[in-house]
A and B are shown apart, each in its own frame.
Chain A
Amino acid sequence: MIKRHEFHKPNRALQLYAAFFMGLLYIPILFIPLFSFSSGLYIRFPIEGWTFQWYAQLFERTAVLRALENSVRVAGSVAVVSTLLGIFAAKALVRYRIPGKGPILGFILLPLVVPPIIFGVALLLMVSTLGIPLSLYTIAAGHIIICLPFAIATLLPRFEGYDAAMEEAAADLGENGWYVFWRVTVPIILPGIVASLLLTFTVSFDEFVMAFFLGGNDLTLPLYVWGQLRIPRAFPVVLALGTLILLFSFALVFLGLKINKRGSIKIMDRE
């Protein structure tokens, strides 16, 4: 239903501003795909010609493919773990009377705000004190800290959004806790689960700071990109890679947010 408020008739100036703002937001990012098709070695106007050669080169580099594989493995496991933890935690926070609920939630959501470098170096300190070698596993551990708030913030509104009587009804009809969970809880919160998986996957897939501090010899894609940034001659290939990463990430996040409807927007409302 569209209700035009009396005070808020279309305002030309604001519309122009909105267009300007969206331009500010997107145009800088769009230079990455734009120049990824430029045949020149340097990023500058005028664009001399158009080419796909950087993309072709990309797939010849085994380092890229290996980094891609590493990233997918890390992001995949981080997404599954943080979503699983998120389901339990969100259920606990919504359905049970727990003392200190507010502070607990605040603590879980803290990594949304605190600079990741803090968590990165702190975790690095512990890991090296314990003599644990840096690897994809340590990266994943760091990513779970960052992804958990997103998972929980995505799933909390799902649990808040339906009546606890649904689960009671299933129990009343003879199902024990396990079956209640699979036959009622999971189907009802499924959009939240899918959204959480997509969003946490993307966040981990694109995460750089934690990976920088906690990574060993195995590179993830952002680490690979970082390494290439020191070599200006490698820029065109980085642009091609960056375009693909952005495209992929945008698609996943768009899908995730769309599936979750308004839930994800609430994330920011919880601070």
Chain B
Amino acid sequence: MPANKTSPSLAAAAPAPSKGSSVLRKLKKSSLLYIMFLPVIVYYIVFHYAPMVGIVIAFKDYNAFKGIWASPWVGLKHFEAFFTTPYFWRLLRNTFLISFYGLIFGFPAPIILALLLNELKDGKFKKVTQTISYLPHFVSSVVIASMLVQFLSPGNGMINNLIEALGGTRTYFLNDPRYFRTIYTLMNIWKGVGWGSIIYLAALTGIDSELYEACIIDGGGRLRQTWHITLPGIANTIVIMLIFRVGDLLSVGSDMILLLYNPAIYKTSDVISTYVYRRGLVEADYSFSTAVGLFNSIIALILLTTTNQIAKKYSDTSLW
């Protein structure tokens, strides 16, 4: 290892440490680090800060020919327009309900899976099951959506085949607004349950095994051990994940929904992000959709801060 060959002559060449080195000196000392860091700063300015500045078009009538700054200010016109569209409540309800179902059904699923995996005695079997459960996490949304569309197809999809074999009637699931949220929630659980369990399994390994021994001596059965030791042991992790989840109650990603929905089921599947995409990029209504997006981020930010405050008040866990 080259680092071990300390040669005195080179050591003398290194800058001597001086007392009370000035700011300038410190800057100079890490000048190479700044040069390295420069592309990173440029990246953040161009692709993160510039779009933040671009939000001003939500308060303007953006015109591509005039540019952002010459376009006229219109105040809150686009926000008012959004609040008064007939879609406003529908979008809000769909966005909320889709993530609420995700919270109720999708949030506990990985916790339960982690607890059950933790009870498996055979290490090899546990490992294999875990690895298999991670699989959907690596598969692209387009592949998952494609499989889902094929399986649910009314013509020859395997789910409809099964329903028919059991004496039911074939249903066009993806064209019926009643089924969309159920399908979406189940699919997300399938996709995320294995991967989501990792963080809880990590927390489980951190629990002191002496606690279990003490509980066994006190005559506690498995159920009691789970209730009094395991769950409190991972409570912090659960609270943090819950804060994120509740903070995200009004931010549903457009990725999967754009692949699965169609105008026939907008009634239950159209969420704020998909609406922003359609109005903004399909219809090129830039200012209006920026306003809708900004409204969504503000609500999301308020939700996250509020949940964090509540968590801080009632438990000793919080994000900041």
Whether both chains belong to one complex is answered with no
Q: Residues of B at under 8 Å CB distance from A?
A: none
